[in-house]
Structure 1
Amino acid sequence: MSFDLSVFSNKNIILAVTGGIAAYKSAILVRRLKDYGFNVRVVMTHGAQAFITPLTFQALSGNPVHTELLDPEAEAGMGHIELARWADLVLVAPASCDTIAKFAAGLADDLLSTLYLATKAPVWVAPAMNQQMWAAKPTQRNLNTLVEDGVHVIMPEAGSQACGDVGLGRMPEPEDLAEQVKNYFHQAQRAIAEKFGLLAGKRVVITAGPTREAIDPVRYISNHSTGKMGFAIAAACYSAGAKVTLLAGPVSLDTPNGVRRINVSSAIKMLDESMHQLEEGCDVFIATAAVADYRVAEVAEHKIKKAGDELNVSLVKNPDIVATIAQQSKRPFMVGFAAETRNVEEYAAGKLIAKKLDMIACNDVSRADIGFASDQNAMTVFFAEQYQMEKRDLEKASKQEIAQQLVEAIHDALNHKIEPV
């Protein structure tokens, strides 16, 4: 699965580090959270500073480290109340037995315990301590209090401990904690998108990549499509709240997070799967795949041996997938793509009418800067006459940005269709 990490760039994480040998893992955790794009500020207790220095966290986070409740410099800038307001999530890792007890008792005698009471942000604690301290009744009682107060407790792992004991009490690995944080924010954003996104409640089917038409068991006919544009659109549709199924030709791309992917190879298989998805229910069908126009009439059962200077292969026309779907009685909103090398807009406008599409996006793949393998694109979008919408020119941008603009165009068309009287 691949994530669009840019969505986390406006999310603020306070990582609170308390006293314990597991504090060394927190340095790695800062790095992993930063890798995902989060803004990270670190709060350290006095006990934490006995194990690792604030300078380490300042270098890793790129922000000053907060250690004192009554720090004149901090109060002049980001005081403890402002720090509490700044946070989208407070993660205490490691959370010592003492800190857990303070939280449960409602004490406010240092920066972290005060921050805990002052913030409205969700609070997560990742306890790390000796196995007997973890099992002690007061500790378990305090943890139960935190859970009742709405704190998310991340269970410690079992294993050998610094003191020589073996049992529960080890802080989970930094990579696992960062993954949990990432998934939490992604799920929260998804819930919002499913209610308020541009395509909320819509079921979208997208074809992407090339097809391969076999000549024999080892050879095939194909094209240069990488599938990048289709995969970017799939991610954008999912972010807009849609349920997305991606019919992918043979490409080497990670599946966008949350998207259902079905791999296909030939044009016939892509058509069969498209029809199946139509039967399951489809609101929007987006055909970005570069489907081979022809296939071999008879695929050789065995590898064709080299003989002579010429090889004649008979080709037959493949079905037109997007036109076939558009002709169905319960047709979805149809979006076609035209990848041309000349007369781009003229050919695209013709396809829009001939294939009875609702919308078509065209681009000039002869340009090296926006061709098949490029990470950027530029498009012109046309709409069917009944939408009474002007064409849109999408200036050169990343394929992710173009995908977002295409989602907006689909949303606008869905809400501007003029129904016949």
Structure 2
Amino acid sequence: MPPVVTGYRIRIRMTARAIDEPHRTASPLELLFDLTFVVAVAAVTAQYAHQITAGHALSALVPFLQVFFAVWWAWMNFTWFASSYDIDDIAYRLLTMVQMAGVVVLAAGVPPTGADSDFRLITIGYLITRIALVAQWLRAAVEHPAGRRTALRYAAGLTLLEAGWLLRLVLAETHTLPSPTGIASFLALAALELAVPWWAERAGHTTWHPHHIAERHGLFTLILFGESVLAVSNGVRAALEGTEVGGSLIVIAASGLVLLFALWWLYFLLPAGQGLSDRREISFLWGYGHYGVFAALAALGAGLEVAVEQTGHRLAASPLAICYSVALPTAVFVVLLRLIHTPLVTEHVMRPRAVLVGVATVLLLPLAASRFGVTAVVAALAAVGVAMVVVTFPAVARHC
């Protein structure tokens, strides 16, 4: 038996955890790890909100998606590794702490990306997370012979791609990487990052736990909803600097919360754990699809913050742009949620016709902003969100 001190193991052999391990839930260490992403997501959301306020929502969208990719992918890599190899001994904990430090550095690097297009701290933070994760995979390769080929492929792929990111940074710093090439190189490296798990798992599948993975994605979704609530609160505070509490401020803040609640309701309508257990082969589609779901929620938080703030200040952004900064993320969230969950369930509670009508309405409502104002449009968007929840009630009742 391995020595145990106050509930954790000092040193044990790293072996794969069982796919069907009963009562598998997120560990306290995973929850602590997620707290660093609270900071990172808050930084990304605040940065994008600032760009929307300045009237640069469209031009800032690509940098926002780039930075969010780094945040999301760092979380994904840790989460899926932990689902297979979390042994919670001292070495595992310390390497997790190093990854947390990398996320903190990454979060600190978010503001410079907006002000000066400076990705140095982002890249350094990402490098720190990679060093620790590669060490974890190498340890798995040494101590778990059955999964050695897969673990070595992960370690090799991550190492080579990190070299690519560093080379990209050096070229950017020496001004030898033109802007169009910079975007193309990012897309190429990001695509290769997504290809590493597919390539590595061809040598042998890791033993990630379906219900644990579903829970972990649900927890990260809650982080993003929480950040959106915080964004609404920030918008209220900013609005009150320029005006007193009024009907418009109350209506738009309340509408933002109602919209978030409706989207939360839709996400957690059906648990994904059983579907992932029955169809593990679609895990890539489901997991990668969450990038869009998560990014949409982060962008929605930024849009709601600006929508609330404009009740107290005259902003550079037009009413149309502000309304679309709320409507577009809402539409993307609903569409992607429907797409990634459809393969997991035999009967989806979100009917295609309801989704089509709801999304079309959401995308058309901002066109009324110039006539009815931002407050009325956001209130209408919240009403559409509630309607999309209500139309699921008959299907939900049949599942009960």
What is the TM-score of this pair, normalised by structure 1? 0.21
**Which structure has the greater CA radius of gyration?**
1
Using CA pairs below 8 Å that are at least 6 residues apart, which structure has the higher relative contact order?
Answer: 2
From the two aligned structures, give the one with the greater helix fraction: 2
